[in-house]
């Protein structure tokens, strides 16, 4: 009996060692399998968790901003800036004066011609004048009115307006105007004459028109009355006054000639 135990002894030992090795390998295999499943085989609910974490994970490179702390100071009332108004641009002037007469002029009489005709036209809105710098040029206008004996209709006068601005630039305007004739027409070729000392002077030579109210040209030459003497040998200023009466002697016309002897 003892001999049989001794024969199985070494073999049994080997078998026992092999069994232990197998058990050890099995334990190692089981441990390795568990680790594999944890790393490579997702368990129930793990995919959803990872997906949810991925959704909340910020993209690479973005910086998470911390929520701003609530201010403990009261908000200041908003102020509305007042709109700024630009100053209007100054008009540009060319320095060229002008005088303009309207197409339609007010009805005029001979008495209007002897008064302040420029002011009458300006007040009626028929005359505008500027100096080229935005200023009114009307006060500087000089008016000259000449009877046109050969023009139709009878009673036509030629109105010439002249004025200079501060630069000495002259503006002119000219228009034939119709005037109601209610008294004789007496016209001189000039109303200011300069003579050299000793130069001859004849007052009637300067009368160009003496017409009655019916248009009879030069019918009143013999009815002209001249008052005033001129001594051309004595330097000085003289006035020669002309007057004519109508054929009915119920109306007259007057003119004055200034003569300067140097």
* Separation between Cα atoms, residue 19 and residue 14, nearest integer Å: 9
Q: For 130-141, write each residue's pLDDT tens digit.
A: 999 999 999 999
Domains plus CATH for the chain?
A: 93-182 (2.60.40.10), 183-262 (2.60.40.10)
- Three-state SS letters, 184-210: CEEEECCCEEEECCCCCCCHHHHEEEE
Q: For 27-53, write each residue's pLDDT tens digit.
A: 777 776 665 555 555 555 444 445 445
Residue (of 181, 258, 186, 193) closest to 225 by Cα position: 186
Q: For 194-207, write each residue's pLDDT tens digit.
A: 999 999 999 999 99
Is pTM beyond 0.75? Reply is no
Of the two residues 170 and 12, the one the predictor is more confident about is 170
Is the C-alpha dihedral spanning 162, 262, 205, 224 positive or negative?
A: positive
Task: Choose the most confident range, by mean pLDDT, from 58-72, 132-146, 243-257.
Answer: 132-146
DSSP string, 97-144: -EEEE-SS---EEHHHHHS-HHHHHHHTT-EEEE-SSS-B-GGG-EEE
Write down the number of H helices and E strands in the chain. Answer: 4, 12
96, two tokens:
């060229």
């Amino acid at each position: 009996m003892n001999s049989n135990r001794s024969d199985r002894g070494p073999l049994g030992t080997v078998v026992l060692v092999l069994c232990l090795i197998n058990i050890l390998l099995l334990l190692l295999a089981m441990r390795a399998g568990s680790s594999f499943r944890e790393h490579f085989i997702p368990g129930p609910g793990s995919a959803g968790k990872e997906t949810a974490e991925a959704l909340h994970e910020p993209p690479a490179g973005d910086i998470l901003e911390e929520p701003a702390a609530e201010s403990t100071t009261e908000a200041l009332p908003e102020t509305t800036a007042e709109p700024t108004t630009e100053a209007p641009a100054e008009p540009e002037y060319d320095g060229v004066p002008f005088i303009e007469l309207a197409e339609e002029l007010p009805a005029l009489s001979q008495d209007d011609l002897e008064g302040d005709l420029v002011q009458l036209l300006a007040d009626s809105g028929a005359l505008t004048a500027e100096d080229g710098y935005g200023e009114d040029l009307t006060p500087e206008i000089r008016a000259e009115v000449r009877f046109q004996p050969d023009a139709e209709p009878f009673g036509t006068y030629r109105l010439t307006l002249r004025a200079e601005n501060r630069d000495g630039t002259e503006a002119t305007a000219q228009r034939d105007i119709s005037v109601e004739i209610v008294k004789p027409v007496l016209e001189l070729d000039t109303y200011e004459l300069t003579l050299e000392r000793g130069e001859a002077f004849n007052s009637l030579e300067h009368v160009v028109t003496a017409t009655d109210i019916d248009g009879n040209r030069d019918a009143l030459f013999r009815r002209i009355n001249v008052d005033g003497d001129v001594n051309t040998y004595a330097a000085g200023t003289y006035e020669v006054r002309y007057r004519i009466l109508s054929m009915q002697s119920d109306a007259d016309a007057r003119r004055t000639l200034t003569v300067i002897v140097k």
